[in-house]
Amino acid sequence: MPYRDHEAIVLDSFNGLWSRGDPDRTPLDHFQDSENIKHIGSNSFGTRDGIGISQSVTVPLSNVKRIYNYPTPTRNTLIVLTYDDVVDKGKIYHVVDSTTVYGPLLQITGMHDFAFVPYAGRAYISPFNTFGAGGLNVEKGLQNEFLYVYAGDGTVARKAAGVAPTGALIIANGAAGLTDAGFHLFGVVYETNSGYLTSIGAITSFTTSAALSVSFSTIPTGSAIVTKRHIVATKVITNYNGDTTGYQFFFIPTGTISNNTSTVLNDISFFDADLLDDASHLIDNYAEIPAGAALTLYHNRLVLFTTFDDISLGLASEVGEPEAIDQIDGLIVVPPDGNPITNGQELRDILYITKRSRTVSYVDNGDEPSTWPLVVVDNALGTSVHGIATVLDSGSSSVDFLIISTYQGITLFNGRYILPELSWKVDDLWSSLDQNEFRKIQIVNAPIQTEIYIILPDRRLLVGNYANGFDPKKIRWEPWSYQMGVNTIAIHNIDEIVLGADLV
Amino acid sequence: MGSFTIIPDSSNIVSGFFINNTASGKFGPFDLVVLQTNDIGVPPPYPRILQGFDPPAVATIDNLLRMSFGLTTNVISLDGDPRISFAGLPLGFVVDSALISLYTDNNGSDAINHFRIQFDESTESGDKSFVAQSFSHPNSTQNPIPSSFLFFVRGCGIHVNNLTVGQRTSRWISRFAVSGTYHLESFTWTLSTASPVSVGSEIIFTSGTANFANMSISIQYVKAGVPKTVVPVPTSQTETLLKFLLPNNFEDFVGTIYFIGTGNGVQFTGSVVLGSLQFIIVNGSGIYKIIKGQSHDTLYDRNGPISYTPINLILPSDILG
């Protein structure tokens, strides 16, 4: 057929990769196959931006397994897991800037991944790993490992929470003073350098006299992390039954020792009416919090999910006390179905908890977490351990919606999953991904670039440009690849995209 | 089926002391000294034994003295033809049998002839006496034939064991040669991945007539004169397609890596060099940042233990210098 019979087709826009259905039906403004293309403005495109090294140090971190944005009170930093396969150890570092690296803060045998949340400048770190279960991969906390806290100052991380005091107090009447005469139980609470209040220990009984104060000696001292100690007491007990932890304890207002050395506190006066600050909730706190596969913050509580022993378990802390998790009242149990909890995220005052193909929600009713009501949100869609996008350098996920990777695709979530998926155009590409490797997917949302960056299991990056609209048919998708392969991503200093590369 | 001979291309020969200087018995570290580079008593041509005892060309592996041939020098003759290099071997070259021969003499105190010849650690002759010796391979059904690649880079090993403490033997090693038979496999294949590659690069072989399902794959290279083998895990292995990612255990190597296919006896027996690629970055892992407007990627370069010079991957001239 002569060419003159052809009518020219003007392509005035290019809208990215089309990987959906019959390739012959690819729209003319899309490519069947493309790689390393970036979209500029609404119609232009070019080669993707290059990458450069992020560390200007003699020995840059190698074999990087996970990067999180770690906002501290003074700057935006990174917390990074590397893996040393010679000694089978995961090592966590604090990368302050291009020339300053602290660490390793934490070294744990067999740690291939970790969950993280920043809180009050501190970093809470939970080591986890992937385990096989019936042919499927399951991410859960490492066995015999714990939640750790890092102060952000280069000192090594330590186990979160802390052990209660032990031993017994020697209690005697002090100088002339004022107390409600009668039988009391007294105890000691440690306060650690992260503000955590331990369970009550060294519980000792003593009958006070009305005209005399109370003096304490042999007050136990704790480990180096203890910065203060508090004397707690019950109100007068009239019929003591011998159950030392069965009574309500309160902080004595003047019963604080602001050091970890003195073993004596003399001449303390208090009335029962002064005992207002309840300490009873500390009694059942974990001294060591088991490691989990996911961490999140909800209503100023730290919530940890998926321990080695219970893949359906969530542990929620007291409000404002991220290390104070009650072993009874702090439990959230998602109905077991053989699938582990994979993630948790707050959105508009609701805590959404996901499994790989299920989503439920809990609402803080002002009572203990174990009483929070469960609502099933979606029985088909869920996500993986890193499958909820974080936004800019906030280290958190919420805007007014979430971007979640499900088995169906990249999906907007505003309390329900919005279909069709954002990745509708590249549905075949998404479907070709190994579902058993979805733990490797990590997402960040960069509103300044109007782009979503998704780490794929095959160590490429899938980039969605939404400059033309957050719409499945307007978003423009492009795979980006690198010589070394990428496996983790974070946003740093507002809009700097940071990539991590490991060894195969 | 044809015959090959690895012909010496140098007049260098080496001699050295094998000495047991440990009190624990067995064999201790070798006290190797080049006595002379030309043994007047033996007429040329002599085998090329790489660079005498200057490390790293001649290395000891597990207390063995190994002598190897160069991969790029013309040292092998097929069926009496002029010598060619390893790189010039025809596609499908498979070694069927081989024999090491050499000439030795003893000026030391080892009167019991604790002298052995090795193809590799698992294929060793018994004690040999002096003067003319040979060792054929395969010598038993338990010992697989090494790949043609290993024939070149490993050559043979000289092993003197069980000297008594303080006992010393001196060997003059000359007339070193490897000869044997070979055949050419007629199947075809294509290495679809181009150089350079690095850890994590995807290597893809597609088949013309080869059946990849009947092969196991290994990656071999020579670092500091010592042959190394890395076994990748295929991500896809069918009759017509073989794909895998380059694993991370190349240590600090940079240079040519060879892909060796070993048959399981269905399609062929022995090993075939399937191709070679230039390996440029040992370990490009680390933390990177996207740089707006930058037209190239700059990666960590851990080619040496200290140097971390960024290199540009997009502009080939930067890679090749």
A461 vs B96, more confident: A461
Question: Which residues, at least 6 apart from A288, have a Cβ–Cβ distance to it below 8 Å?
Answer: A146, A159, A160, A161, A163
Going through A21-135 in order, the beta strands assigned E by DSSP cover: 37-40, 44-47, 50-53, 64-71, 76-84, 89-95, 101-109, 113-119, 122-133
List the CATH code of the domain at B189-281. 2.60.40.10
Chain B nearest C-alpha distance from A154 (Å) = 19
pLDDT, one tens digit per residue, over B270-290 is 788 888 888 876 677 899 999
Phi first, then psi: what are they for A439, rounded to 5°?
Answer: -60, -20
Q: Please indicate whether, in this complex, the C-beta atoms of B298 and A504 are within 8 angstroms of each other.
A: no
Tokens 């906390």 belong to residue? A141
Q: Considering CB atoms only, which of B248, B289, B297 is closest to A483?
A: B297
Question: Which residues, at least 6 apart from B159, have a Cβ–Cβ distance to it below 8 Å?
Answer: B63, B64, B65, B115, B116, B117, B118, B124
Chain A nearest C-alpha distance from B232 (Å) = 10
Q: Considering CB atoms only, which of B248, B285, B298 is closest to A52?
A: B298
Chain A residues within an 8 Å CB radius of B235: none
Q: Is B246 on the interface with A (CB under 8 A)?
A: yes
pLDDT, one tens digit per residue, over A136-157 is 899 999 999 999 999 999 999 9
Burial B19-54 (b: 16+ CB within 10 A, else e): bbeeeeeebbebebeebeeebeeeeeebbbbbebbe
pLDDT, one tens digit per residue, over B152-169 is 666 666 665 555 555 555
**A391: pLDDT strictly greater than 50:** yes
Average pLDDT for residues A393-398, to the nearest whole number? 60
Question: How far is A392 from A494, CA to CA, in rounded Å?
Answer: 6
B107 vs A385, more confident: A385
Tell me which of B199, B246, B288 to substitute to probe the interface with A (most A C-beta atoms closer than 10 Å): B288
Closest by CA position to A467, among listed A89, A145, A13: A13
Q: Please indicate whether, in this complex, the C-beta atoms of A58 and B292 are within 8 angstroms of each other.
A: no
Q: Please indicate whether, in this complex, the C-beta atoms of B283 and A497 are within 8 angstroms of each other.
A: no
B155 vs A45, more confident: A45
**A292: pLDDT strictly greater than 80:** yes
Confidence band, pLDDT 50/70/90 cuts, at residue B26: very low
Q: Is B287 on the interface with A (CB under 8 A)?
A: yes
pLDDT for position A57: 86
Question: Which residues, at least 6 apart from A360, have a Cβ–Cβ distance to it below 8 Å?
Answer: A334, A335, A352, A353, A354, A374, A375, A376, A377
Q: Considering CB atoms only, which of A61, A62, A482 is closest to B297?
A: A482
Q: Is B231 on the interface with A (CB under 8 A)?
A: no
| Alpha-helical regions (H) of chain B | 148-154, 316-320
**A332: pLDDT strictly greater than 70:** yes
Tokens 């291009």 belong to residue? A98
pLDDT for position B310: 45
Q: Please indicate whether, in this complex, the C-beta atoms of B297 and A60 are within 8 angstroms of each other.
A: no
Chain B nearest C-alpha distance from A21 (Å) = 24
Confidence band, pLDDT 50/70/90 cuts, at residue A374: very high
pLDDT, one tens digit per residue, over B51-87 is 233 333 333 333 455 555 666 777 788 898 888 887 7
**B34: pLDDT strictly greater than 50:** no
pLDDT, one tens digit per residue, over A195-246 is 999 999 999 999 999 899 999 999 999 999 999 999 999 999 999 998 988 8
Tell me which of B251, B283, B287 to substitute to probe the interface with A (most A C-beta atoms closer than 10 Å): B287
Helix (H) or strand (E) segment spanning residue A429 = helix A427-431
**B104: pLDDT strictly greater than 90:** no
Task: Tell me if A382 sits within 8 A of A358, measured CB to CB.
Answer: yes
pLDDT, one tens digit per residue, over A53-92 is 899 888 889 899 999 999 998 999 999 999 987 788 999 9
DSSP A430: H
Average pLDDT for residues B121-136, to the nearest whole number? 58
Mean pLDDT, chain B, rounded, equals: 65
pLDDT for position B200: 75
Task: Tell me if B274 sits within 8 A of B191, measured CB to CB.
Answer: yes
Chain A residues within an 8 Å CB radius of B302: 62
ipTM of the complex: 0.92
CA distances from B174 to A189, A208, A415, B10 (A): 82, 100, 82, 11
pLDDT for position A371: 95
Task: Tell me if A462 sits within 8 A of A454, measured CB to CB.
Answer: yes
Question: How far is A200 from A377, CA to CA, in rounded Å?
Answer: 39
Helix (H) or strand (E) segment spanning residue A341 = strand A341-347
pLDDT for position A234: 96
Tokens read off for A335: 């109905």
Tell me which of A35, A47, A49, A497 to substitute to probe the interface with B (most B C-beta atoms closer than 10 Å): A49
Tell me which of A35, A51, A478, A502 to substitute to probe the interface with B (most B C-beta atoms closer than 10 Å): A51
**B44: pLDDT strictly greater than 70:** no
**A453: pLDDT strictly greater than 90:** yes
Question: How far is A458 from B200, CA to CA, in rounded Å?
Answer: 10
B35 vs A21, more confident: A21
Confidence band, pLDDT 50/70/90 cuts, at residue A172: very high
Q: What is the DSSP string of B186-255?
A: ---EEE-PPSPEETTPEEEEEESS--GGGEEEEEEEEETTEEEEE---EEEE-SSEEEEE--S--TT--E
SS3 B83: coil
pLDDT for position B255: 82
Cβ count within 10 A of residue B140:
7
Question: How far is A67 from A88, CA to CA, in rounded Å?
Answer: 19
SS3 A468: coil
B266 vs A105, more confident: A105
Average pLDDT for residues B204-215, to the nearest whole number? 88
Q: Please indicate whether, in this complex, the C-beta atoms of A52 and B295 are within 8 angstroms of each other.
A: no
Average pLDDT for residues B183-211, to the nearest whole number? 85
Chain B nearest C-alpha distance from A499 (Å) = 5
Task: Tell me if A369 sits within 8 A of A363, measured CB to CB.
Answer: no
Question: How far is A195 from A198, CA to CA, in rounded Å?
Answer: 10
Q: Is B286 on the interface with A (CB under 8 A)?
A: yes
**B33: pLDDT strictly greater than 60:** no
Tokens read off for B72: 């790029």
Size of interface A-B (CB pairs under 8 A): 122
Q: What sign does the dihedral A66-A67-A70-A75 (CA atoms) show?
A: positive
Q: Considering CB atoms only, which of B285, B288, B292 is closest to A503?
A: B285
**A404: pLDDT strictly greater than 70:** yes
Q: Please indicate whether, in this complex, the C-beta atoms of B290 and A80 are within 8 angstroms of each other.
A: no
* Residue spans per domain, chain B: 2-184, 189-281
Q: Which residues of A touch B (CB under 8 A)?
A: 47, 49-55, 58-64, 67, 78, 80, 85, 95, 459, 482-486, 492, 496-504
